[in-house]
Amino acid sequence: MADTGTATVTYGDISGSTVHYADVDWIADASGNVEKAGLILNGILLKLETYPGSPAPTTLYDITLERGSPALDVLNAVGANRSATVAEQAAVALATTVLAGAVLGTYTFKIAAAGNLGAGSARIYFTGG
């Protein structure tokens, strides 16, 4: 599927550590969605931070980080129901039967229900790679 909305990805590292991050600045399309393929993540997911922009997204918008068909959300649903007014953070938890935080390869970043041209940014922290 082609990318929808607008999203720009920037990668960085936390100085003096093995922690890396991917910053995604996004603006939703008219249907409130964003889809950006091609995020490269290798290691263990640690945390998701979200920052509403201007114009603000719709309250309780959702973020997923997907791979495969059918798609699997490697954020393990911690990106659900984000705030439209305050910055939030969520640890990527380990499931009882799956190491939910393990990533290796290329992923698709998705926003749903953010409202017409709602904007924001997300920072995805990971270690390793």
Tell me the pLDDT tens digit for each residue of 59-117.
Answer: 999 999 998 888 889 888 999 999 999 999 999 866 555 555 678 889 999 999 999 99
pTM above 0.85, yes or no: yes
Q: pLDDT tens digit string along 14-23? A: 988 899 999 9
Residue 93: CATH number of its domain: 2.60.120
Query: Residue 121 sits in which domain range?
Result: 6-127
The answer to whether residue 103 is domain-embedded is yes
Q: What is the DSSP letter of 95?
A: P
Q: Are 107 and 35 in contact (CB under 8 A)?
A: no
The pLDDT of residue 95 is 54
Report the pLDDT value the prediction gives residue 128, as an integer from 0 to 100. Answer: 81
Residue 47 lies in a domain: yes
Measured torsion, CA atoms of residues 9, 15, 17, 20, in degrees rounded to the nearest 10: 0
Q: Is residue 97, in this structure, part of any structural domain at all?
A: yes
Q: How many separate domains does the chain show?
A: 1
Q: Is residue 1 part of a domain?
A: no
Cα separation, 82 vs 67, whole angstroms: 21
Residue type, 84: A
Bridge partners, 22 (sequence order): 11, 124
How many CB atoms are closer than 10 A to CB 83?
16
Say if residue 129's pLDDT is above 70.
no
